[in-house]
């Protein structure tokens, strides 16, 4: 049993998910009004670790931005992406999501990342954060 636990703890994994959320309803100074500009921004940072001596592929299947209080999803879209982890590699990946509507509500939000490594599908959640509003 101890060997199995060691093997599980030494697999490719996402160790941290960090979210930065902001909404820019007011135009930046000097910018002409643009009718269809992005207002909502979500930057999701993933910390990945591969302690093994082989290449592994990680598929980020989905990233959702969720209201903490009611569990409702914000209007951001994401397309699956594959990341190849080299042997013994630690990596930080950034995903930038935008929308034209901003954030619904005034609650804190969190990122929920669904990913696949081999046959395993897992989800990891960021800490709740306040939306920075301008």
Work out the pLDDT band at 118, boundaries 50, 70, 90: confident
20-46 confidence digits (pLDDT tens): 999 998 887 888 888 888 999 999 999
Q: Provide the domain limits for residue 11.
A: 2-133
Q: State pTM to two decimals.
A: 0.86
Quote the pLDDT of residue 1: 36
pLDDT (0 to 100) of residue 4 = 37
What are the residues facing 95 on neighbouring strands? 44
Query: Where do the H-state alpha helices sit in the chain?
Result: 2-9
| Residue 8: strand, helix, or coil | helix
Residue 133 tokens read as 């509003």
The CATH number that applies at residue 82 is 2.60.40.10
Interval 88-94 mean pLDDT: 96
**How many folded domains does the chain comprise?**
1
Which pLDDT belongs to residue 8? 43
Residue of 28 and 8 predicted with greater confidence: 28
pLDDT (average), residues 121-128: 96
pLDDT at 6 over 60: no
């Amino acid at each position: 049993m101890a060997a199995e636990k060691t093997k599980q703890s030494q697999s490719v994994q996402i160790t941290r998910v960090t979210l930065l959320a902001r909404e820019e309803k007011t135009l930046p100074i000097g910018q002409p009004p643009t009718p269809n500009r992005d207002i909502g921004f979500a930057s999701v940072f993933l910390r990945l670790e591969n302690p093994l001596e082989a290449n592994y592929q990680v598929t980020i299947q989905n990233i959702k931005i969720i209201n903490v209080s009611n569990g409702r999803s914000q209007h951001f879209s994401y397309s699956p992406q594959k990341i190849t982890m080299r042997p013994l590699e630690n990596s930080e990946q950034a995903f930038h999501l935008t929308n034209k509507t901003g954030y619904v509500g005034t609650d804190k939000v969190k990122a929920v990342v669904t990913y696949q490594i081999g046959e395993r599908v897992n989800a990891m959640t960021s800490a709740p954060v306040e939306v920075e509003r301008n």
